[in-house]
Amino acid sequence: MSLYFTIAVIILVFVIIFQIAKASEYVEILKGEEKSRKQNNKVNGFLMIAFLILGLIAVYWCHEILKDRTLGESASVEGEKVDSMMYLTIVVTGIVFFITQILLFWFSYKYQEKENRKAFFLAHNNRLEVIWTVIPAIVLTVLVVIGLRNWFLFTGEAPKNALVVEITGKQFNWIYRYAGQDNIFGKKYFRNIDDANNSLGLLWEDNALINTKADPAAIDDIVPGGNDVYVIKNRPVKLIINSRDVIHDVGLNHFRMKMDAVPGIPTTLWFTPKFTTKEMKERENNPDFEYEISCDQMCGNGHYSMKGIVKVVTQAEFDAWMSTQKPSYYVAFPDKDPTAIPAATDSTAVPAPATAGVNGTTANKSTAKLN
């Protein structure tokens, strides 16, 4: 019903515009075309100036309304470079905006049709063309070079002391992984993915069925689960970004960072958090403040809910948290955990990771029963 109504309104508006145009045509014939054109020119010239002034007031007004709604200071050291690029771009384009807009509307008014004035015909001017080609080319080159230098910094080699965290997007949440004691991320294989206990498909065990060999480095990898990822204040953090299904995007607006999560092609990003979450709660005067990971790529119907939380903590707090985390292999198979308190039966009787099992999961379930 509302569709028909909208169509009817649109048709009506067209009819009205057509009728007004037709009426003004008749008026011109009655008044004499020449005279009415001159009158129109004057009105249009005045409207151009009015539009310029109203437009500039509106620009200022928008600025006043929106300036407090932008994010505050960058929460990462490297993000400051993004902010300075942003300001530089706003200044450069802002100057061009004001000069061109003021000239555009002022000239339309100033050089409106007048009797005894003939338009000056300028066919070609090489010097002018060189100037307006070379200056923007130089300015844009400078902006692009600054951008590329920063891009290569963020996506390049992270400092040696960086904490490395893997983050994998899936429909519709994020999975984090820490390398564990050996500092090496174990290999994974997508056919090993099991949302019940191996959401990343880590190669814990040999699996003849899918012809994969176990990777010992995967045994101590930590997959905390949940929405929170812990990083450390003043210590660079390198994200290795993956996707399990479609293209997602790790959006870290407080840190001014953002990177696509592409299935099959790991991407990386590093930055150094400046303030802990606790400090930010005070700075922002908001007890509920959290650093957010938003998925910045339309990835499906649950896209809106794909929110992660970055907890920036001190090194001591991080160590305390990390000491509570168990490698996900031992979470999935508590009976394999050497640090677990031995049960009444002799725990050494439990075989080490089944190496020849037809299927890792079922092999483990059977050992669990045996135990």
Residues that bind Cu ion (CB under 5 A): 248, 295, 299, 306
Say how many CA atoms lie within 13 Å of 30 toward its Cβ: 6
Nearer of residues 34 and 195 to Cu ion, judged by Cβ: 195
| Residue of 294, 253, 340, 48 whose CA lies nearest to 167 | 294
Instruction: Name residue 144's beta-bridge partners.
Output: none
Amino acid at 231: V
Cβ proximity to Cu ion: between 233 and 248 the closer is 248
Question: Least distance (Å) from Cu ion to the CB of residue 249?
Answer: 7
Min dist. Cβ of residue 337 to Cu ion (A): 33
Cis check for the bond before 172: say yes or no (omega within 30 of 0): yes
> 351: how many CB neighbours lie within 10 A of its CB?
14
Query: C-beta of 261: minimal distance to Cu ion in Å?
Result: 7
* Shortest spacing between CB 170 and Cu ion, in angstroms: 8
To Cu ion, the closest distance from the beta carbon of 298 in angstroms equals: 8
The Cα 350–Cα 336 span in angstroms is 7
Q: Which is nearer to Cu ion, 269 or 354 (CB)?
A: 269
Task: Please state the closest distance from residue 300 (CB atom) to Cu ion, in A.
Answer: 7
- Residue 177 or 248 with smaller CB distance to Cu ion: 248
Other C-beta atoms lying within 10 Å of the C-beta of residue 322: 13
174 or 270: CB nearest Cu ion: 174
According to DSSP, the β-strands at 248-252 and 257-261 are: antiparallel
Q: What contacts 275, CB < 8 A, 6 or more positions away? A: 75, 233, 283, 312
Q: Two tokens at 293?
A: 């990971």
Q: Following CA atoms 140, 146, 152, 154 in sequence, which dihedral angle do they give, to the nearest 10 degrees?
A: -120
From the CB of 164, what's the least distance to Cu ion, in Å? 22
Closer to Cu ion at the Cβ: 299 or 310?
A: 299
User: Which tokens is 96 given?
Assistant: 């061009």
| Spatial CA neighbour of 225 closest among 332, 318, 339 | 332
Quick one: 248 or 336, whose CB is closer to Cu ion? Answer: 248
Q: Decide whether 177 or 233 has the Cβ nearer to Cu ion.
A: 177
Alpha carbons 43 and 108: distance in angstroms, whole number: 12
Residue 69 Cβ vs Cu ion, minimum distance, rounded to whole Å = 25
Nearer to Cu ion, 206 or 249 (CB): 249
Largest alpha-carbon pair distance within the chain? Answer: 111
Q: C-beta of 252: minimal distance to Cu ion in Å? A: 14
E strands, the chain, are 163-170, 173-178, 228-232, 237-243, 248-252, 257-261, 267-271, 291-295, 307-313
Separation between Cα atoms, residue 191 and residue 210, nearest integer Å: 8
Distance of alpha carbon 139 from the chain centroid: 26
Shortest Cβ 306–Cu ion spacing (Å) = 4
Q: Of 231 and 306, which CB lies nearer to Cu ion in the complex structure? A: 306
